[in-house]
Homo-oligomer: A and B are copies of this chain.
Amino acid sequence: METIDTITGMQKRSEELRLSGKTIALVPTMGFFHEGHLELMRVGRHLADKLIVSIFVNPTQFGPSEDFEEYPRDMEGDLEKAREVGVDLAFIPAAEEMYPDGFQTNVTVEGISKYLCGISRPHFFGGIATIVTKLFNITKPHLSIFGEKDFQQLAVIHRMVKDLDMGIEIVGVPTVREPDGLAMSSRNSCLSSEERRSALSLKKSIDMANDMVGGGEKDAAGIISAIQALISSHLFTKIDYISICDPITMEDKATIEGECLLALAVKIGKTRLIDNCLIDID
């Protein structure tokens, strides 16, 4: 597996690959790989000739009081896992390479970014859209793979690619879960064993919501207040949001009809976790 840490080196390599007729898939990551990341790589491995993974903990998507410094990192372990899963090239730039002095350009997706995670993390999606634009311009992929666990991020990327005519196919991959249902996340490593038990309240909420809808419940407020009660009955939990919304625009829905997204963000101690599912009304 090749590793490249400069922007111009990566651009030159990707241009060569394109000119030789190879298709390129990019999996952009912040590293500290778990099965969820590896699943994205396996999908990318099947869809393109060359598979690039970027590892970069992007400072601009963290707020000043958020966990940029504490975000877990393991470059050596990550490179080993990427190699095992068949990645061709890892792009691992330093922060100074990506954001040199004088940097002042931002990409923003106005509508979708205002809701859900955009409320408590106002700079998050701007940071995401900007870094992903940069990574696309650097690695020149034909397609790029993202996890559905970060559903709103995926919606923002879809919208950005369409609006800016990036001509890149965006592939969403279903959430990978632990045997007990907890959605895989690099941040799960920050949970104490007691917090780990409370973290299950997210998946339990999703299951309960699906049961309620299966039983005929159509009122979003009713489902949301049942979820509030369930989560609050677990220790160390602090709800950021519980939303039932349109999965494209992220606007709230009062009634379960058509496609609906249930999305949750909950702090478990100091660790903020998210989870979601599309609510199935059939």
Q: Which residues of A contact B (CB under 8 A)?
A: 7, 11, 18-19, 21, 102-112, 129-130, 133-134, 137-138, 159-160, 163-167
Say how many copies of this protein the assembly contains.
Answer: 2
Q: What 3 pairs between A and B have smallest CB-CB spacing?
A: A105-B163, A104-B111, A137-B165
Q: Are A167 and B11 in contact (CB under 8 A)?
A: yes
A166's partner among B130, B137, B160 (CB-CB below 8 A) is B137
User: Given contacts A105-B160, A133-B164, could you give 20 more A-B pairs where the C-beta distance is less than 8 Å?
Assistant: A7-B165, A11-B167, A18-B19, A102-B111, A104-B109, A105-B110, A105-B159, A105-B163, A105-B164, A106-B107, A106-B108, A106-B110, A107-B107, A130-B164, A134-B164, A134-B165, A137-B164, A137-B165, A137-B166, A138-B165
The closest CB in chain B to the CB of A7 belongs to B165
Q: Which residue of B lies closest to A249 (CB)?
A: B102
Partner of A19, one of B19, B110, B165, B166: B19
Task: Tell me the bound Cα distance from A109 to B105 in angstroms.
Answer: 4
* Complex: A107 Cα to B133 Cα, angstroms: 10
Q: Which residues of B contact A111 (CB under 8 A)?
A: 102, 104
Q: Is the CB of A105 within 8 A of B108?
A: yes
- B-chain residues with CB within 8 Å of residue A159 when the two chains form the complex: 102, 104-105
Cβ–Cβ < 8 Å partners of A160 in chain B: 105
Which B residues are in CB contact (< 8 Å) with A109?
A: 104-105
Q: Which residue of B lies closest to A106 (CB)?
A: B108
A130 to B166, CA, bound (A): 12
Contacts of A134 in B (CB 8 A): 163-165
Query: Which residues of B lie under 8 Å from residue A108 when comparing CB positions?
Result: 105-106, 108
CB distance from A10 to the nearest CB of B (A): 9
Cα A93 to Cα B159 with chains together (Å): 20
Chain B residues in 8 Å Cβ range of A7: 165
CB of A279 to closest CB in B, whole Å: 23
Provide 14 A-B residue pairs closer than 8 Å at the C-beta atoms, listed in order of the A residue.
A7-B165, A11-B165, A103-B163, A104-B109, A104-B110, A104-B112, A104-B159, A104-B163, A106-B107, A107-B107, A107-B164, A130-B164, A137-B165, A138-B165
State whether B167 touches A137 (Cβ < 8 A). Answer: yes
Q: How far is the CA of A172 from the CA of B31 in the complex (A)?
A: 40
Most buried by B among A133, A159, A163, A167: A163
